[in-house]
Chain A
């Protein structure tokens, strides 16, 4: 493909490192397990989906002398089968447990990643008590000695459930039935929620209901890079791309802001030849490398890229 060749030549200038992989099935989740492994999961309906624990190639995980490590391939370290589509997956820190949310069926599935074999096994479920069959729960994890699972489909159904005892430790207690689009745990007692309407809130779980919630506006697909004040946003209408913005330079003026970098790899390296370009489904930042991102698309591609900060090269 000519444009793929062109893009690749361009990429020499745009990226420090670039890796492109093809998973056996597209994923909507990219969750870290430790700093050397990531978890992906399929979301096809009417089919057995795979949940995979992939170990980063040495070239992407070593901190020094990268040039002496030729290994560039992911290794499938663990795998499991899910009868349902997986739309969200969270690793419970300091454990070998995972929590997934999907359809059909309104419950969360808890999995265990085995130590001595390559199996990811379903071990228990968490009821969600949601009556609408086509909606799936958003999930976040309160990590502590007794981890809690924060989940909900609507503001009214927000709950925190103790993972081991399955007892509910928090409920929002509000009647507001706005649909949630994402949840993010901030510390042991607070979390942020984002609604599909764009409404953003912060909640303190020590207080009943949504008291302590502050209103703002959010776009559902922001992620913040660890340790660096750069944000990433997938804009609607630019669904085949991943864009990086520097929020430190925003001064509150909501005029047009240009992205620092745009990753178009998923569009140009699409080998499927389909008429529609693939959609980026999810992305995540590398925990140690400040400019390295992983992005996945609907054509089952997975990219790992380290963009060049062109401002700094002058």
Chain B
């Protein structure tokens, strides 16, 4: 029975470490390889022992697919490939390929330099890992090998994020990764065609979340920024180079224009450098509006937003600054933070998750006194705001996506089936699918009935039709033919045609059976009795008495002979070709019952 098996890897039920193993059509694929940001020990990695048990990783796994650059989806990749030992291909989109190593290196620096962790992957390992990457384009079918193919779909969420379809023959699985169904200011919404996969894999947390609207999140951001500059304060927004910064810049630009505000907005030089570098990557991945506006210009060319100069940090008066890096762990954003932290009028807005060990993480935990280098204590009097801008789908979003793809089954990760009966029932009812919720380490097995298309030759079809009965879906009929499999093609042809195509000669097969009868008369008379008997019984068949004394029924030959030792016994030799097996067997049992007495 063909089946698809899915196992989410890792211990615990926490969201924050995506890594899913899928077995389909004899192929094994790993979907994402994320790190759990909350743990400092091995609990941060997925539980790879499930795979390594099976022997050599590279032999077992056909490929690894990474959906996007967030560390909870790719953070464990260098560990997996360089320390656990996987040498096979790693697939991801181009922007993911470009941005992943930067985030991994940043993370590595913080873990090793700031937290002093040992047994962490090195910079060289990150480079070696990325050498195994094969970049894919949207909607491009990529042949991993003769049987396994994958295709990336636009997921929205962050730059380069993709949903992946994994296909072997007629069986397929779609993995959504993180996605959103409503476009934002710089990215579009996820989209997939009606690919009807056997299984759609997505996050259970989406289904149980009712999200605050994007407008309200933006409103909160604008309100905080506006209030701060209105009272003469400065706003620091630490950002990673791309994506979120773009979104917030567009938002502020629009608002400043509308309200005719005068306070200056800056972005740091670190941003512009990286921005132009990613420009070519960025454009195909943005939404239509961005493309129209920025296709001719530098994408950080705004009317109200200017390039930052270090000296500006000391200028009096209100201002807003976007600076890297995003977690305040080094560089320009940290420098500015140190200058502005002492005033209650100022504000720092953290738009994303900060890794443990960074200043960002400390202030978001509520710490108001920070120990800096040289044992200097920095008192944080400025307002600290933690805002979430990441675009995720919700229950409604899942429904939309399922409506687009039309899967047969849905599988939700990071949830516990025992605790989620209502959710399971809701999904099954709403989408008329089966819903699975495996715990980490638990395997879900789906039986599939893949349909294999077979072409029937015209000659064979005509022969069947000539028998008079039209095809009826409710009454399956037995069709004799020869199945020829050639070049991933299946054809059903008549035996004669098959023999001709394959250049084979046909063998004739004939069965012979002996039936003993008690009859004292001569063979010829016995034969005549047989003929009369069969003629009267087999009204639908052609029964003939040949001049040489033998009797034929269709192709079946019956000859009477005397028994060598017992003259009162006659032996009937019944022989037939294999094509007439049914009739032959019937005749034999009929004759074994004996002949009627002649009058």
Contact = CB atoms under 8 A, between A and B. Distances in A.
Interface stretch (B147-155, B214-222, B535-543): B214-222
A309 interface: no
24 contacts: A8-B215, A8-B219, A11-B219, A18-B216, A20-B216, A21-B211, A24-B396, A48-B429, A65-B366, A67-B383, A67-B384, A68-B364, A70-B387, A71-B388, A72-B216, A74-B210, A76-B207, A76-B208, A76-B423, A80-B422, A116-B419, A117-B418, A118-B421, A118-B423
Interface in B373-420: 383-388, 394-396, 418-420
A79 interface: yes
A69 B384 CA distance: 10
Interface string A14-53: 0001111111100000000000000000000000101000
Contacts of B259: 9
A4 interface: yes
Interface string B425-438: 11001000000000
A12 interface: yes
A93 B41 CA distance: 44
A52 to B, nearest CB: 9
A104 interface: no
A24 B255 CA distance: 31
B507 interface: no
Contacts of B226: 12
Contacts of A208: none
Given A19-B216, A68-B386, A12 B423 contact: no
Interface residues on B, range: 35 or more
A21 B385 contact: no
A72 B219 CA distance: 13
B258 interface: yes
Interface string B284-311: 0000000000000000000000000000
A280 interface: no
Contacts of A199: none
Nearest to B211: A73
A8 B383 CA distance: 24
Contacts of B215: 4, 8, 20, 269
B384 A68 contact: yes
B209 interface: yes
Interface of B: 207-213, 215-220, 222-223, 226, 255, 258-259, 364-366, 383-388, 394-396, 418-423, 425-426, 429
A9 B212 contact: no
B38 to A, nearest CB: 15
A76 B423 CA distance: 9
A78 interface: yes
Which of B223, B259, B422 is packed against the most chain A CB atoms within 10 Å?
Answer: B422
Nearest to B392: A73
CB-based closest 9 A-B pairs: A70-B388, A79-B422, A72-B212, A74-B210, A20-B213, A67-B385, A76-B208, A70-B386, A118-B422
A117 B419 contact: yes
Interface in A44-103: 48, 50, 54, 57, 65, 67-81
A8 B396 CA distance: 23
Contacts of B422: 78-80, 117-120
Contacts of A72: 211-212, 216-217, 220, 388
Contacts of A75: 208-210
A18 B426 contact: no
Contacts of B364: 68
Given A18-B216, A119-B421, A9 B258 contact: yes
B385 A20 contact: no
A11 B222 CA distance: 11
Given A54-B210, A119-B421, 8 more contacts: A19-B213, A67-B385, A72-B216, A72-B217, A76-B207, A76-B423, A79-B423, A120-B422
A76 B425 CA distance: 14
A64 B32 CA distance: 37
A293 B572 CA distance: 101
Given A24-B395, A76-B395, A118-B419, A12 B222 contact: yes
Contact of B210 (A22, A71, A119): A22
A12 B421 contact: no
Given A74-B209, A76-B208, A76-B210, A18 B396 contact: no
A49 to B, nearest CB: 12
A122 to B, nearest CB: 13
A22 B429 CA distance: 20
A17 B216 CA distance: 9
Contacts of A54: 210
A54 B209 CA distance: 9
A50 B223 CA distance: 35
Nearest to B424: A118
Contacts of B386: 67-70
A24 B207 CA distance: 11
Contacts of B217: 72
A72 to B, nearest CB: 4
Given A72-B217, A76-B423, A117-B422, A20 B208 contact: no
B523 to A, nearest CB: 82
Contacts of B213: 19-22, 269
Interface in A100-120: 116-120
Contacts of A48: 429
Contacts of A71: 388
B426 A50 contact: yes
Nearest to A51: B422
Name, among B384, B385, B386, the residue most crowded by chain A CB atoms within 10 Å (CB to CB): B386
A19 to B, nearest CB: 5
A71 B220 CA distance: 13
Nearest to A23: B210
Nearest to A76: B208
A123 to B, nearest CB: 15
The listed residue with most B CB atoms (<10 A of its CB), out of A17, A54, A68, A80, is A68
Given A65-B366, A117-B421, A79 B426 contact: yes
B351 to A, nearest CB: 9
Nearest to A48: B429
Contacts of A22: 210, 213, 396
B369 to A, nearest CB: 16
Nearest to A22: B396
A302 B216 CA distance: 12
B219 A18 contact: yes
Contact of A73 (B210, B220, B255, B418): B210
Nearest to A304: B212
Nearest to A68: B386
B211 A12 contact: no
B253 to A, nearest CB: 14
B184 to A, nearest CB: 15
Given A24-B395, A70-B387, A12 B223 contact: yes
Contacts of A9: 255, 258-259
A91 B211 CA distance: 25
A24 B387 CA distance: 25
Given A72-B217, A80-B422, A117-B420, A57 B395 contact: no
